[in-house]
């Protein structure tokens, strides 16, 4: 083994331990009973509500539109709200200072510990898709959507990145509820999941910077037989951008901690 590999091994080990800890932390905060008895039913009911509401408001065609978008809304809002548990845990336990003194940057630790949220969120939304489709009479649409499941997986990651950026503010401020819920409601309003793009231009502009918007557009384009790869790439760029925002927010919190000598700015 080369000397460079030896020097990299400790950091890789630390990263692996952070990921492993993230899963244990996730299961401690969201045990199987909570996932199966609370999170999953809520996601299923959210998706069913948006799907049926679309049919009531604008007929069968819009019900199909609402089903495709309802899956995105339920997925994005779940990930955005739940991933806030990662930085909030450090705030409540007063352990952010320990992250600041470690070998791995706090942003890297937050991202590593957040890995379970997009993966579990994607699994939950797959169950919701299978349950809601026959209830709403959209079994054929669900089968047509199956090849695009990976797009929902991408949205699961981009939504988690946006949720983590919003939640990073709570490390130094009392904004646990406000930051994550504001991000979730912005996605609900601007993603194009229920209100088709082009109706309110300002929402289209804001939505272009939010998770779900481009991925959802890619799914609709694919269903119509139109080009969709550039929209998929745009969704990935949005996710990367929110990861960058997370790094900036955490860096600001670190600078404030150094300046004030503590991590409690609430």
Give the pLDDT of residue 13.
83
Residue 6 has pLDDT above 70, yes or no: no
Model confidence pLDDT, tens digit, residues 51-66: 998 888 777 778 899 9
Phi-psi category of residue 116: left, alpha or beta, with phi > 0 → left and psi -120 to 50 → alpha: alpha
Average pLDDT along the chain? 86
Residue 2 has pLDDT above 50, yes or no: no
Residue 256 has pLDDT above 90, yes or no: no
Give the pLDDT of residue 260.
65
Residue 192 has pLDDT above 90, yes or no: no
Task: Please report which residue ranges of the chain form alpha helices under DSSP H.
Answer: 3-29, 32-34, 40-58, 60-82, 85-93, 96-100, 106-113, 116-135, 139-145, 149-167, 176-190, 201-207, 213-224, 229-260
Model confidence pLDDT, tens digit, residues 66-92: 999 999 999 998 999 899 888 888 777
Chain-centroid distance of CA 69 in Å reads 15
Structure letter (DSSP) for residue 84: T
Give the pLDDT of residue 3.
44
pTM of this structure = 0.88
């Amino acid at each position: 083994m080369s000397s460079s590999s030896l020097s990299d091994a400790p950091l890789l080990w630390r990263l692996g331990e952070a990921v492993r800890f993230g899963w244990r932390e996730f299961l401690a905060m969201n045990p199987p009973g909570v996932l199966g008895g609370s999170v999953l039913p809520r996601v299923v009911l959210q998706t069913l509500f948006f799907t049926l509401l679309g049919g009531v408001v604008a007929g069968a065609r819009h019900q199909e539109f609402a089903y495709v978008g309802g899956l995105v809304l339920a997925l994005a809002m779940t990930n955005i709200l739940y991933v806030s548990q990662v930085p909030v845990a450090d705030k409540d336990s007063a352990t952010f200072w320990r992250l600041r003194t470690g070998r791995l940057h706090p942003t890297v630790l937050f991202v590593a510990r957040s890995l379970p949220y997009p993966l579990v969120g994607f699994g939950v939304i797959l169950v919701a898709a299978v349950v809601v489709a026959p209830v709403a009479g959209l079994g054929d649409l669900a089968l047509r959507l199956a090849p695009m499941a990976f797009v929902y997986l991408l949205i699961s990651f981009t939504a988690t990145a946006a949720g983590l950026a919003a939640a990073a503010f709570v490390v130094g401020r009392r904004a646990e509820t406000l930051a994550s819920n504001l991000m979730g409601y912005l996605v609900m309003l601007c993603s194009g999941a229920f209100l088709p793009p082009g109706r309110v231009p300002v929402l289209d502009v804001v939505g272009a910077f939010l998770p779900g918007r481009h991925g959802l557009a890619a799914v609709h384009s694919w269903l119509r037989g139109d080009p969709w790869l550039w929209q998929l790439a745009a969704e990935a760029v949005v996710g990367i951008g929110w990861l960058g925002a997370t790094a900036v927010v955490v860096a600001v919190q670190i600078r404030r901690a150094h300046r004030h000598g503590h991590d409690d700015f609430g």
